[in-house]
Amino acid sequence: MHNRLRELRSQHGLTQAALASQVGASRQTINLIENARHDPSLSLAFAIARLFGLPIETIFFEATPRPG
């Protein structure tokens, strides 16, 4: 899953540690998510979306659209 987490975090002047603290995750988890090596749990994805005031699908999205 791709995401805009690093971009948003940077725009808001947050470190990985600060973001992690605000959403109840570890800095390592935030790093893995930013590098698309880990997908966040649904509750973590919603916490991140709430923090930035954006819809979840604006932050997290699939690499290619599903056919259909």
Domain ranges for the chain? 2-58
Q: What is the CA angle 22-39-45, rounded to 5?
A: 40
Give the chain's end-to-end CA distance (angstroms, integer). 19
Domain 2-58, CATH 3.20.20.70 — does that match? no
Among 39, 22, 20, smallest CA distance to 30 is for 20
Q: How far apart are CA 55 and CA 38, in angstroms?
A: 20
Residue type at position 11: Q
Indicate the pTM of the whole model. Answer: 0.89
List, for residues 24-63, the tens digit of each pLDDT value: 999 999 999 999 999 999 999 999 999 999 999 999 998 7
Among 65, 23, 15, smallest CA distance to 45 is for 23
Q: Is the pLDDT of residue 68 over 80?
A: no
pLDDT band at 65 (very low <50, low <70, confident <90, very high): low
